[in-house]
Amino acid sequence: MDEQESDTELGKIEVTRRTVIETGATALLLTTLPRAALAAGPVEDNEPPPPPVRVDLRINGHLYSLTLDPRTTVLDALREHHA
């Protein structure tokens, strides 16, 4: 083998079934995570959660006073917390 052939072989990328599956699974995971989770970054274990906040929602003319985690989305508040 001459020097040029060995340089060509070193530059090759090996594609196996395993790398295709790993890459596909990673891509799928990243596309299914909420954007807020990706933007928030890693969670620190020693950080306490933020204190709950009081929220007043008027839904169809009815007032609901809720105490929620400030990270709660409006959708979650409507689905899980209002009476």
DSSP run (H or E) holding 40: helix 35-40
Q: Where are the domains of the chain?
A: 3-81
Beta carbons of 57 and 66 less than 8 angstroms apart: yes
Beta carbons of 69 and 77 less than 8 angstroms apart: no
Q: pTM surpassing 0.75?
A: no
Q: Could you report the per-residue pLDDT of 2-38, keeping only the tens digit for each? A: 555 555 566 677 788 888 888 888 887 777 766 666 5
> Which pLDDT score, from 0 to 100, does residue 36 have?
61
Nearest to 53 by CA among 16, 24, 14, 81: 81
> Which pLDDT score, from 0 to 100, does residue 30 have?
72
Q: Could you report the per-residue pLDDT of 51-82, keeping only the tens digit for each? A: 999 988 888 888 888 898 888 888 888 888 76
